[in-house]
Amino acid sequence: MPLSALVRLPLALARAALEALRGRLGALCWSLSPLSLSLPGWRRVSAPSPAAPAGPRRERHEWEDPSPTPTSVNYHFTRQCNYKCGFCFHTAKTSFVLPLEEAKRGLEMLKEAGMEKINFSGGEPFLQDRGEFVGQLVQFCKQELKLPSVSIVSNGSLIRERWFKKYGEYLDILAISCDSFDENVNVLIGRGQGKKNHVENLHKLRQWCREYAVAFKINSVINRFNVEEDMNEQIKALNPVRWKVFQCLLIEGENSGEDALREAEKFVISDEDFEQFLDRHKDVSCLVPESNQKMRDSYLILDEYMRFLNCRNGRKEPSKSILDVGVEAAIKFSGFDENMFLKRGGKYVWSKADMKLDW
């Protein structure tokens, strides 16, 4: 027998064996159909035969992708922070930060999967390389990925005007965390930093946002120390595009439980207390309230390793990194409730090009 035939014979036998095995597996699967065996994301679809539309119907299987689209993603690329807010739910458990090019690779993957908005958070985003790291990511997302919306959440203490001069054109929204307009309360909460005044700095950042055409937003966590405060006058004077008002949330392993770095129980308020605060500020047009129920499953959160964090069980359970398994595989374990995301107003006019603002 020629040598070439000797080589082809084992391949042919192997191919035949595989075909036989595939046929047996197919028969086995169909034989189980009376048991109505179902797997997540798998359904049996009945469709009329094109050759005989009025006759007996045949069945086919179709894989339905249950993965949500990562329309809006919050990337907490660092856990490090220069403040010590007592209710913080993303604490400094690691000092890890991805190399810049790896972070860009992950962001590009998210864009290909449908991301329209990226929000950079922490920790404090401006701690890493004095704001250069987040600045380069902001520029990359706007200039290279051409995302409609790029935003940052920061405590504002480390932002300098030179950052706006260099990167302001690429940033749509800057959200500053401010929980009180009483500096003594800010100190009690953990937002005090020596001689720096958090409220004075907030006004300075508001002015820079006007000068460099960046939409200004305020985030406030309502807790035991500020729940009685009346912020109407100050918020209206600052005139943010959005005032995000969160109910203090407990996350096991972050600000609650034995392995947590914070003890936030003393900051927690009741749903009734939260509703009373909202009622007191009902005339503030930019108010966007978020109760514990709305917050828990309505955010797509990426940690410092680019893992989605599932908060459905009251703690942050990570998926595998999108850098290792891809966005589609990782996001299935995110616990993300797309309906709640839309219900809480997660999709809004988030590109400054579409905002009618008096800069």
- Catalytic one among 88, 141, 178, 311? 88
Based on the residue annotation, tell me whether 85 is a catalytic residue of this protein: yes
- Catalytic one among 29, 85, 178, 311? 85
Based on the residue annotation, tell me whether 81 is a catalytic residue of this protein: yes
Based on the residue annotation, tell me whether 209 is a catalytic residue of this protein: no
Q: Residue 219: beta bridge partners? A: 177, 244
- Catalytic one among 81, 178, 209, 311? 81
Residues with catalytic annotation?
A: 81, 85, 88
